[in-house]
Chain A
């Protein structure tokens, strides 16, 4: 069946290091893959998305990589800062049918000073 999941529930990194958050998906029919950030006590916030026909997309301090061969998605955060501490969710969406997001279970990123 369809699933969007994550390899690790918690990732701890040192401030200033680069962070890599991974996500595995099983639905090869997805048209978009999206990353959201949820800070404690807040609703999720959109970070970046990537269309399924792309391999890489860059934003401000973030890069999303998509490997369709192994159905793997990653979010790279450069020079991780304390404000990056949050739970990160990957999500997927198709352009047909329901067109709603399906979220994974999340990875908690802890930034150590």
Chain B
């Protein structure tokens, strides 16, 4: 079984709709992350959480919100989706401090299309 799972894997929605992407990890990691990947670009950090009570904005948090429901679950919401949020979204988790922060474990991604 995959250590980091994302649902749904694919989603097509319309402008203005509210969308939630979910992520679960079974690795027992405290740290969790949401990234966005666009063609020809690297991964850009949307939000990250260092534990259940610690949520931080990344590079591109505008238009997104997150919820850390438990150590194992971290969801990403688009309150009112717009076409330029069409992208591939990745969730990741990592161990605690020091060098462990370098090795993030990524889910398989969610391809979101906003029409």
Contact = CB atoms under 8 A, between A and B. Distances in A.
Interface of A: 4, 9, 32, 34, 41-46, 49, 51, 89, 93, 95, 98-106
Contact of A104 (B42, B92, B101): B42
Interface stretch (B60-68, B69-77, B104-112): B104-112
Given A49-B99, A93-B101, A100-B45, A44 B58 contact: no
A43 B42 contact: no
Interface of B: 4, 33, 35, 40-45, 48, 56, 58, 90, 92, 98-99, 101-109
Label chain A's interface by main secondary structure: loop
A32 B99 contact: yes
Given A44-B90, A100-B33, A34 B43 contact: no
A72 B27 CA distance: 33
Contacts of A101: 45, 101-102, 104
B73 to A, nearest CB: 17
A40 to B, nearest CB: 11
B99 A103 contact: no
Contacts of B41: 105-106
Contacts of A105: 40-42
